[in-house]
Structure 1
Amino acid sequence: MVGSGAAGGIAAYVLTIKGLKVLCLEAGRMLEPAHDFFTHKFPYEWPYRGEGKPGQYGKLPQGMEWKIKEWTDHLYTIPAEDPYALAPGSKFTWTRLRAVGGRTNLWGRGCDRFGPLDFKPKSLQDGWGEDWPIGYEDVEPYYERVEQLIGVSGSSEGVYNTPSGKRLLPAFNPRCGEMLIRKGAAKLGIKVMPKPLAVLSRLYDGRPPCHYCGACNWGCDVGARYSSLDVLIPQLRRRKNFELRTNAAVHTILMDRSTGKARGVTYIDTRNGLEYEAYGKAVVLAASLVESIRILMNSRNRDYPSGLANTSGTLGHYLMEHVAFNSIEGFFPELAGRPTTNDDGPGESCLYIPRYNYGHKDQKKYLRGWRLDFYTGCGMSPGPGASLPGFGSAYKKKIKELYPAAVQMGGYGEGLPFFWNYVEIDPGGLRDRFGIPQVRFHTTSEYDHAFAIRDEMYGQMEEILKASGAEIFPYKKQSPYPLGSVTHEAGGCRMGNDPRTSVLDEWNRCHDTKNVLVVDAGCFVSHPEKQITHTIMALAYRASDHLAEEFRRGDA
Structure 2
Amino acid sequence: MQNRKTSRVYDAIIVGSGAAGGIAAHVLVNKGLNVLLLEIGPKWDRNTIFHTEHSWPYEMHYHGLGRPGQYDGLWKVNAYTEHLYVHPRIDRYATAPGTDFHWTRIHAVGGRTNTWARVSLRMAEWDLKPKSMQDGAGEDWPISYSDLAPYYDKSEDMLGVFGTREGLAVLPDGNYHAPTPPARCGEVMLMKGGRKIGIPVIPVRKAILLKNRDNRSACHYCGNCDYGCATGSRFSSLDAIIPQLLGRKNFTLRTQAAVHRVLLDPKTGKARGVEFIDTRNKLTYEARARVVVLGAGAMESTRILLNSKSREWPTGLGNSSGVLGHYVMDNFKSGFVSGWLPSLKSTEIFNDDGAGGGHVYIPRHTNFKGGRKSTVLRGWQFQPGSGSGSFPGYSKRLEGFGSGFKKEVREMNPARISLAGFGECLPYFDNYCEIDPGGLKDRYGIPQLRFHAQWHDNEKKMADLMYDSAEEILRAAGAEVSPYARNTPPPPGDATHEVGTARMGDDPKTSVLNKFNQAHDVKNLYVVDGASFVSCPEKNCTLSIAAVSWRASDYLAEELRLGRL
Give the TM-score of the pair, scaled to structure 1.
Answer: 0.97
User: Is 1:13 the counterpart of 2:26 in the alignment?
Assistant: yes
User: Is 1:383 the counterpart of 2:393 in the alignment?
Assistant: yes
Deviation at 1:368, TM superposition (A): 1.3
Query: Could you say which residue in structure 1 is the equivalent of 2:10?
Result: none
Q: After superposition, give the CA deviation of every residue in 1:265-297 in whole Å (9 maximum; x if it has no partner).
A: 000111121111100011100111111111001
Deviation at 1:395, TM superposition (A): 1.9
Query: Could you say which residue in structure 2 is the equivalent of 1:42?
Result: 56
Given the alignment, which residue of 46, 49, 71 partners 1:33?
Answer: 46
Query: Could you say which residue in structure 2 is the equivalent of 1:187?
Result: 196
Whether the 8 Å contact between 1:320 and 1:527 is mirrored in structure 2 is: yes
Q: Could you say if the C-alpha distance between residues 384 and 538 of structure 1 is closer, same or farther in structure 2, counting changes exceeding 3 Å?
A: same
Deviation at 1:396, TM superposition (A): 2.0
Query: Could you say which residue in structure 2 is the equivalent of 1:116?
Result: 125
User: Is 1:225 the counterpart of 2:239 in the alignment?
Assistant: no
Query: Could you say which residue in structure 1 is the equivalent of 2:102?
Result: 93
Whether the 8 Å contact between 1:365 and 1:449 is mirrored in structure 2 is: no
> Where do residues 232-251 of structure 1 align in structure 2 (5 Å cutoff)?
232-251=241-260
CA distance in 2, matches of 1:110, 1:149: 14
CA distance in 2, matches of 1:281, 1:50: 47
Q: After superposition, give the CA deviation of every residue in 1:124-180 in whole Å (9 maximum; x if it has no partner).
A: 111111000000000000000111122110011101121112444222111111111
Matched position secondary structure for 2:486: coil
Matched position secondary structure for 1:292: helix
CA distance in 1, matches of 2:214, 2:547: 20
User: Is 1:155 the counterpart of 2:164 in the alignment?
Assistant: yes
Query: Could you say which residue in structure 1 is the equivalent of 2:148?
Result: 139
Q: Which amino acid aligns with 1:259?
A: T
Deviation at 1:47, TM superposition (A): 3.7
Query: Could you say which residue in structure 2 is the equivalent of 1:58?
Result: 70
Deviation at 1:326, TM superposition (A): 5.5
CA distance in 2, matches of 1:450, 1:58: 28
CA distance in 1, matches of 2:481, 2:176: 38
Matched position secondary structure for 2:526: strand
Query: Could you say which residue in structure 1 is the equivalent of 2:9?
Result: none
Whether the 8 Å contact between 2:157 and 2:175 is mirrored in structure 1 is: no
Matched position secondary structure for 1:281: strand
Deviation at 1:347, TM superposition (A): 1.1
Could you tell me which runs of 5 or more consecutive residues in structure 2 were left unpaired when the two chains were aligned. 1-13
User: Is 1:402 the counterpart of 2:416 in the alignment?
Assistant: no
Query: Could you say which residue in structure 2 is the equivalent of 1:71?
Result: 80
Deviation at 1:530, TM superposition (A): 0.8
Matched position secondary structure for 2:339: strand
CA distance in 1, matches of 2:229, 2:208: 10
> Where do residues 46-445 of structure 1 align in structure 2 (5 Å cutoff)?
46-52=60-66, 54=67, 58-61=70-73, 64-65=74-75, 67-205=76-214, 207-325=216-334, 327-357=336-366, 358-359=368-369, 363=373, 365-445=375-455
Q: Which amino acid aligns with 1:32?
A: D
Matched position secondary structure for 2:155: helix
Query: Could you say which residue in structure 2 is the equivalent of 1:542?
Result: 551
Deviation at 1:79, TM superposition (A): 0.7
Whether the 8 Å contact between 1:87 and 1:442 is mirrored in structure 2 is: yes
Matched position secondary structure for 2:117: coil
Q: Which amino acid aligns with 1:201?
A: L
Deviation at 1:453, TM superposition (A): 1.2
C-alpha RMSD of the superposition? 1.4
Matched position secondary structure for 1:325: strand
Q: Could you say if the C-alpha distance between residues 88 and 206 of structure 1 is closer, same or farther in structure 2, counting changes exceeding 3 Å?
A: closer
Q: Which amino acid aligns with 1:439?
A: L
Q: After superposition, give the CA deviation of every residue in 1:205-235 in whole Å (9 maximum; x if it has no partner).
A: 5632111111111111111111000010000
Matched position secondary structure for 2:302: helix
Whether the 8 Å contact between 1:383 and 1:406 is mirrored in structure 2 is: no
CA distance in 2, matches of 1:326, 1:366: 15
User: Is 1:527 the counterpart of 2:536 in the alignment?
Assistant: yes
Q: After superposition, give the CA deviation of every residue in 1:63-91 in whole Å (9 maximum; x if it has no partner).
A: x13x1122211110111111111100111
Whether the 8 Å contact between 1:28 and 1:246 is mirrored in structure 2 is: yes
Matched position secondary structure for 1:226: coil
Deviation at 1:114, TM superposition (A): 0.3
Q: Could you say if the C-alpha distance between residues 194 and 362 of structure 1 is closer, same or farther in structure 2, counting changes exceeding 3 Å?
A: closer
Deviation at 1:382, TM superposition (A): 0.7
After superposing the two structures, state which structure 1 stretch, 242-251 or 143-152, moved more. 143-152
CA distance in 2, matches of 1:240, 1:326: 51
CA distance in 1, matches of 2:260, 2:297: 13
Deviation at 1:374, TM superposition (A): 0.5
Query: Could you say which residue in structure 1 is the equivalent of 2:512?
Result: 503
Whether the 8 Å contact between 2:163 and 2:176 is mirrored in structure 1 is: no
Whether the 8 Å contact between 2:341 and 2:416 is mirrored in structure 1 is: yes
Identity of aligned residues (%): 51
Q: Which amino acid aligns with 2:53?
A: T
Query: Could you say which residue in structure 1 is the equivalent of 2:4?
Result: none
Whether the 8 Å contact between 1:330 and 1:384 is mirrored in structure 2 is: no
Deviation at 1:203, TM superposition (A): 2.9
Give the TM-score of the pair, scaled to structure 2.
Answer: 0.95
CA distance in 2, matches of 1:345, 1:500: 49
Whether the 8 Å contact between 2:160 and 2:207 is mirrored in structure 1 is: yes
Q: Could you say if the C-alpha distance between residues 43 and 362 of structure 1 is closer, same or farther in structure 2, counting changes exceeding 3 Å?
A: closer
